[in-house]
Amino acid sequence: MSGLGDGRSVVGTARSERGDAIDLVRRWFDATGAHDLAAAADLMTHGPRIAVSGGHRFSSLEDFIVWGSTRYAELRKQCDSFEACEAAGGIAVYVRGEMSGRWADGLPFARVRWCDRVLVQGGRIVDLDTWSELAESRLAIPS
């Protein structure tokens, strides 16, 4: 029988700051995927910095969603991986996956790769940078 006092190592099970940041970002993706924008906004700081491919910038989740609704009739993001590291200003969580849905004109798209960088600071999301191949998938549609 081994005890704590016999010279053996004890491995702690405490959560890391990176693990907590990943959990927060997972909850944010779950909330946005369920269209629970109030819950998603509660996980963000007031006036987050949101930047999207093409130079579009927003300072609220609501403005970001309104902009997206002019482009997409439907959008689903599948999260394939979450990775976290220390970054200037907090913990950066990188999320990668594929998205599918329909453009506002009804044309479908599927298996479009995307990557988001989410900066977490003090238990809140302060920045969201999102990149995708949506423009390339739109160009590939025959006319």
The DSSP-derived string for the chain is ---TTSS------PPPHHHHHHHHHHHHHHHHHTT-HHHHHHTEEEEEEEEETTTEEESSHHHHHHHHHHHEEEEEEEEEEEEEEEETTEEEEEEEEEEEEEETTS-EEEEEEEEEEEEEETTEEEEEEEEESHHHHHHTS--
Q: Which pLDDT score, from 0 to 100, does residue 54 have?
A: 87
pTM confidence score: 0.84
The pLDDT tens digits along the chain (143 residues) read 444 444 554 455 556 999 999 999 999 999 999 999 999 999 999 999 999 988 999 999 999 999 999 999 999 999 999 999 999 999 999 999 999 999 999 999 999 999 999 999 999 999 999 999 987 776 655 55
Q: Which pLDDT score, from 0 to 100, does residue 10 have?
A: 46
